[in-house]
Amino acid sequence: MRLMTCSRASLALTLLLPLGAAAERPSFEVTSNEVFNPASIAPYAGDHGDVYARIDADLAEHLGELQRWVRQPSVSAQNEGITEMAQMLRDDLERLGFSEARIVPGSGHPGVWGYYDAGAETNLLLYMMYDVQPVNPGDWQVPPYAGELVDTELGTVLMARGAMNQKGPQRALLNAMQAIIDVTGTLPVNVMLLAEGEEELGSPNYPELVGKFEDRLRTADAVFFPFNSQNARGEITMYLGVKGILYMEMEARGGPQGGPTESEIHGSYKAIVDSPAWRLVQGLASLTSDDGNTIMVPGYYDAVRPPTESEMALVNGIAGTWDGQAAARQLGVAQWIDGLTGRDAIMEYLYMPTLNIDGIWSGYTGEGSKTILPHVATAKVDSRLPPGLHPDQAQAMIRRHLDDRGFTDIEIRRMGAYPAAQTSVDAPVVRAAISVFNKYGTTREVWPRLAGSAPFYQFTDRLGLPFVFAGLGHGGGVHGPDEFTVIYPAAGSGIAGLADIEKGYVDFLYALAGK
Amino acid sequence: MRLMTCSRASLALTLLLPLGAAAERPSFEVTSNEVFNPASIAPYAGDHGDVYARIDADLAEHLGELQRWVRQPSVSAQNEGITEMAQMLRDDLERLGFSEARIVPGSGHPGVWGYYDAGAETNLLLYMMYDVQPVNPGDWQVPPYAGELVDTELGTVLMARGAMNQKGPQRALLNAMQAIIDVTGTLPVNVMLLAEGEEELGSPNYPELVGKFEDRLRTADAVFFPFNSQNARGEITMYLGVKGILYMEMEARGGPQGGPTESEIHGSYKAIVDSPAWRLVQGLASLTSDDGNTIMVPGYYDAVRPPTESEMALVNGIAGTWDGQAAARQLGVAQWIDGLTGRDAIMEYLYMPTLNIDGIWSGYTGEGSKTILPHVATAKVDSRLPPGLHPDQAQAMIRRHLDDRGFTDIEIRRMGAYPAAQTSVDAPVVRAAISVFNKYGTTREVWPRLAGSAPFYQFTDRLGLPFVFAGLGHGGGVHGPDEFTVIYPAAGSGIAGLADIEKGYVDFLYALAGK
């Protein structure tokens, strides 16, 4: 998952397809003037002073728990430490008093299931991932699995693989639960936990894991994924969903219709031999307008559902705080497409599907000149899918468009796909999270969604549950070197340290229980 | 240089550009029914029995000269043995009695100049190349610079780098000249020789070499490049020209107009960030019809000059012998474009300019999925240019087309370019070559040109001279492992061995002199 800190108003969904030149891209009109202000949600007012005191007293030990987790490598891509980490999570759940805690074998790295019966009315499902990305130790200023504390201008941080993504926030939540149990003997909510060890692989088998517990999971009131939601200035941003994705390889090869079938041939034959590279280029080009920014596949935009009234209020809210120019500058981008600004850029970013060329290759790509007619050409293309546009539907429309244009020779290989996930800002679990944020700091922006993708549809669509990924705390270096999470923040930084992160989770669990 | 063994009649040059769908490609009408038959040219009738006898007597020594040459590596790309080979050629010319023989320094590997004053009326310019392609010795069945003889089903061959391309034929010609001089004291023609050591690099500095001798070179009656023109069945094919070429890199990058400028960014930003990869794909796609076979650049076809009457006769001639299906099969191609056959395919192959994608690359091209929006996308594109369409003109038309369509952000980098070269079948030097071929075997096909490219315009256009690359003999493995030329052909093979190759050159020199 990647984040982004980011409109377009016009007449409602209308797709114009002029012959030639630039196409008119449809857009959704923002018809509401309501502005969602996160400060309008009262800060959580409950006080659990004895639990907070326990956290403060045990903080060194709690930090030790985070260190224990990050010191256990669990690289899913390299199958390093996966079994050990799954066992560590299972054992930790047992130690916490989970009545069910077991490793769940399946088609991929095993899952971990846990159930804590608090005899409570509210059922919370925790999503967790116990795997991490690979490391290049030479790029790190500390060994990536040493769990070292490092002093930075943000304060003292835990610098290790998994510190932010996602062992740090997850173990902090378990620490908070431990403190509650130690003080009160139980939890304010019943907790189901279903963790996977393949998130960094794209969660290919999480649907299978969900299937094993589906009836029970449906009894949950909400799904929560602990997360570091603060930026380096301590500002809190929430995202209430993700776009879906369709990731494809599109390929043209010589065949019965023409073109070299076995290997590249001398380029001079182009005069009388069909070119798979031209076919791929032409087939791809048929998919978008000349500027690459409007998808020319019939029906593609029609499937996207318009923003709800409450989503419009969210967009109006973030349009007042988002610095689009700064966001572009940070990316090394001179301007957004069509010179979009403000709310127009936000709407485009969040509500439009994309077709993106992630990679393309064919023939000779080295230095200098080589005159060949390649027999194969391939592109990696992904499409980000806002709610309403399902990947199966998207792929079928692309296939039909190519076929209708005569590009039946272009093969589409699906590399991965899942639909969008969306939770309403009106869901009690969202209100609970914002109320806690407002107690510890300021919730600056609530976005309807990330423009990035994650398979959270398993919770929102399959299980029909509201899903929140949120939490106090700040970190960085996700997927790269020097991954960190702030433990003891510098004075005045506005960032929550480990103690406040855990207290926030305590409050969140009570808030969910209405206590 | 690569060979090809390969019509399209319709109304004369008319370019239709329908909006959308497949474009109508113009073609040249073959308005003549004349058929050129190489057998109509009488076999060379001169008899130089004393010279032939000398060749037979000295054949072992002559083979030794070929071996001496191929044992001297001269890899231009790796600057290996270049000086030694240039000196060897210079020394050989001196030994032959050239009154001028010197190494010519210049911007690249040196040239070699020689002049043999025979006091004759006819002046022949010899083009030679003394460099060879690199080798991968592990791929060879003999050491590539050992000059070993190897028995094959074609007979005993000299297997070594340069055996065919081009040391074998060139040294065989010098052997033939040596035999004439030994027997008669001089040559039947005056000989200018201008050799380069950079042919395998694309002859970047040969124009500079030509410039140093331009006034003298213009006094030549013809230019000749010794060559193995026989196939494995002994059949002789001649090519009277080459297409020109424009080799470009076309590139799109993020910039002030939008798109990532510094590095790839997360693919989800496609919603509001321009994509250089899409721009390249769209810009390229604008250059051809959907099938990739018709160039949509205005004026591109208009510049090509139609076939002459005598070229039409050549085309009608080869249309009777060329096996298009076999040629396609050999390339692994199921059918030529648009299902063209026979004369239509030949005309398309020889008279149409091409736009070919030699390579294209952008972003992530490895295994699996990576969601990025690349900041740069590049394609290698070459255009083969029949006579009439100059590369400068071609590039300007492509640039104007892209600009007119709004693709001002696509950069064109020229990697190499030169125009076509064409010699008339009616040129005395061509008639001389065919008459000699008809004495030793059968000239099966005379093609107006190769569809491939070589910078022979230096001779035909700059110097205004007829140019022939031809000769008896057969070889293979050019640019690859096990390069060879047949020395002692198997009985009944129809291939000329070294003795006949040299006798053929003797006859050719006399034929040129009208003797």
Question: Over B38-81, what HEC string results?
Answer: HHHCCCCCCCCHHHHHHHHHCHHHHHHHHHHHHCCCCEHHHCEC
Mean pLDDT, chain A, whole residue set: 94
Q: Write out chain A residues lying below 8 Å of B273, CB-based.
A: 331, 333, 336-337
Q: Write out chain A residues lying below 8 Å of B375, CB-based.
A: 332
pLDDT at B370: 86
Distance from CA of A426 to the nearest CA of B (A): 26
Report whether B465 contacts B223 (CB < 8 A): yes
Cβ contact (<8 Å) for B271 and A349?
A: yes
- Of the residues B356, B382, B403, B414, the best mutation for testing chain A's interface (the one with the most A CB atoms within 10 Å of its CB) is B356
Cβ contact (<8 Å) for A291 and B270?
A: no
> Which candidate from A352, A357, A363 shows the least CB-CB separation from B277?
A357
Task: Centre a 10 Å sphere on the Cβ of residue B153 and count the other Cβ atoms it contains.
Answer: 7
Query: What is the C-alpha separation between A232 and B509, in angstroms, rounded?
Result: 85
Task: Centre a 10 Å sphere on the Cβ of residue A326 and count the other Cβ atoms it contains.
Answer: 10
Cβ contact (<8 Å) for B277 and A360?
A: yes
Alpha helix segments (H runs only) across A6-142:
49-57, 59-70, 82-96
pLDDT at A351: 97
Does A19 score more than 80 pLDDT?
no
CA nearest neighbour of B399 among B246, B197, B230: B246
Confidence category of residue A368, pLDDT binned at 50, 70, 90: confident
Confidence category of residue A370, pLDDT binned at 50, 70, 90: confident
Report whether B343 contacts B316 (CB < 8 A): yes
Alpha helix segments (H runs only) across B206-363:
206-212, 214-217, 276-285, 309-319, 324-331, 342-351
> Which candidate from A256, A260, A364 shows the least CB-CB separation from B358?
A364
Cβ contact (<8 Å) for A292 and B272?
A: no
> Which candidate from A268, A333, A407 shows the least CB-CB separation from B273?
A333
pLDDT at A369: 85
Confidence category of residue A23, pLDDT binned at 50, 70, 90: low
List the single residue in A with minimal CA-CA distance to B327: A269
Report whether B513 contacts B212 (CB < 8 A): no
Sheet of B484-489, strands arranged across: B148-152, B155-159, B484-489, B475-476
Report whether A271 contacts B349 (CB < 8 A): yes
Burial label, A142 (beta-carbon count in 10 A; 0-12, 13-18, 19+): middle
Beta strands A222-226 and A123-129, pairing class? parallel
pLDDT at B10: 31
Report whether A336 contacts A344 (CB < 8 A): no
Amino acid at B72: Q
Question: Over A384-440, what HEC string results?
Answer: EECCCCCHHHHHHHHHHHHHHCCCCCEEEEEEEEECCEECCCCCHHHHHHHHHHHHH
Cβ contact (<8 Å) for A336 and B451?
A: no
> Which candidate from B6, B331, B358 shows the least CB-CB separation from A372?
B358
Contacting residues for A515 by C-beta, under 8 A, at least 6 apart: A46, A188
- For chain B, which ranges sit under pLDDT 50? 1-22
Torsion of CA B57, B114, B512, B473, to 10 degrees: 50
Look up tokens 């700064």; give the residue: A326
pLDDT at A8: 31
Beta partners for residue B29, in sequence order: none
Helix (H) or strand (E) holding B404: helix B391-404
Task: Centre a 10 Å sphere on the Cβ of residue B210 and count the other Cβ atoms it contains.
Answer: 20
Q: Write out chain B residues lying below 8 Å of A368, CB-based.
A: 415
Q: Write out chain B residues lying below 8 Å of A404, CB-based.
A: none
Alpha helix segments (H runs only) across B409-497:
428-440, 457
Does A146 score more than 60 pLDDT?
yes
SS3 B460: helix
Query: What are the two backbone dihedrals, phi and then psi, of residue B19, each rounded to the nearest 5 degrees?
Result: -70, 125
Query: What is the C-alpha separation between B151 and B159, in angstroms, rounded?
Result: 10
Does A502 score more than 60 pLDDT?
yes
Q: Per the structure block, which two tokens stand in for A477?
A: 């270096």
Q: Write out chain B residues lying below 8 Å of A28, CB-based.
A: none
SS3 A364: coil
pLDDT at B155: 98
Distance from CA of A288 to the nearest CA of B (A): 8
Task: Centre a 10 Å sphere on the Cβ of residue B20 and count the other Cβ atoms it contains.
Answer: 10
Q: What is the pLDDT of residues B189-236, one digit of tens each?
A: 999 999 999 998 889 999 999 999 999 999 999 999 999 999 999 999
Q: Per the structure block, which two tokens stand in for A296?
A: 């020319």
Q: Write out chain B residues lying below 8 Å of A371, CB-based.
A: 245, 247, 356, 358, 382, 453
pLDDT at B1: 33
- Of the residues A270, A295, A381, A478, the best mutation for testing chain B's interface (the one with the most B CB atoms within 10 Å of its CB) is A270
Q: What is the pLDDT of residues B465-496, one digit of tens each?
A: 999 999 999 999 998 899 999 999 999 999 99
Beta strands A123-129 and B236-239, pairing class? unpaired
Cβ contact (<8 Å) for B365 and A361?
A: yes
Does A406 score more than 70 pLDDT?
yes
Contacting residues for B423 by C-beta, under 8 A, at least 6 apart: B240, B241, B429, B430, B460, B466, B467, B468
| Cβ–Cβ pairs < 8 A, chains A and B | 309
Does A157 score more than 50 pLDDT?
yes
Beta partners for residue B75, in sequence order: B80, B132
Contacting residues for B415 by C-beta, under 8 A, at least 6 apart: A368, A369, B247, B248, B249, B380
Beta partners for residue B421, in sequence order: B242
> Which candidate from A245, A286, A361 shows the least CB-CB separation from B360?
A361
Contacting residues for B396 by C-beta, under 8 A, at least 6 apart: none
Cβ contact (<8 Å) for B266 and A337?
A: no
Q: What is the pLDDT of residues B32-48, one digit of tens each?
A: 999 999 999 999 999 99
Q: Write out chain A residues lying below 8 Å of B359, CB-based.
A: 362-366, 370, 372, 374
Query: What are the two backbone dihedrals, phi and then psi, of residue A309, each rounded to the nearest 5 degrees?
Result: -55, -45
Query: What are the two backbone dihedrals, phi and then psi, of residue B171, each rounded to the nearest 5 degrees?
Result: -70, -30
Angle at B469 between CA B465 and CA B475, to 5 degrees: 170
Q: Write out chain B residues lying below 8 Å of A289, CB-based.
A: 282
Cβ contact (<8 Å) for A247 and B362?
A: no
Sheet of A484-489, strands arranged across: A148-152, A155-159, A484-489, A475-476
Q: What is the pLDDT of residues A303-313, one digit of tens each?
A: 999 999 999 99
Beta strands B475-476 and B484-489, pairing class? antiparallel
Report whether A344 contacts A30 (CB < 8 A): no
Amino acid at A453: S
- Chain CA centroid to CA B367, Å: 38
* CA atoms in the 13 A half-sphere facing the CB of B82: 23
Q: Per the structure block, which two tokens stand in for A171?
A: 């173990």
Beta strands A443-447 and A236-239, pairing class? parallel
CA nearest neighbour of B178 among B85, B82, B57: B57
List the single residue in A with minimal CA-CA distance to B358: A372
Beta partners for residue B423, in sequence order: none
Does A10 score more than 70 pLDDT?
no
Q: Per the structure block, which two tokens stand in for A399?
A: 């296939």
Q: Per the structure block, which two tokens stand in for B166?
A: 């081009």
Helix (H) or strand (E) holding B87: helix B82-96
Report whether B378 contacts B343 (CB < 8 A): no
Cβ contact (<8 Å) for B272 and A6?
A: yes
Cβ contact (<8 Å) for B331 and A372?
A: no
Cβ contact (<8 Å) for B267 and A332?
A: no
Contacting residues for A471 by C-beta, under 8 A, at least 6 apart: A169, A172, A173, A226, A227, A228, A229, A501, A504, A505
Amino acid at B55: I
Beta strands B241-253 and B410-418, pairing class? antiparallel
Q: Write out chain A residues lying below 8 Å of B266, CB-based.
A: 2, 4, 452
Q: Per the structure block, which two tokens stand in for B373?
A: 């929006």
Q: What is the pLDDT of residues B52-75, one digit of tens each?
A: 999 999 999 999 999 999 999 999
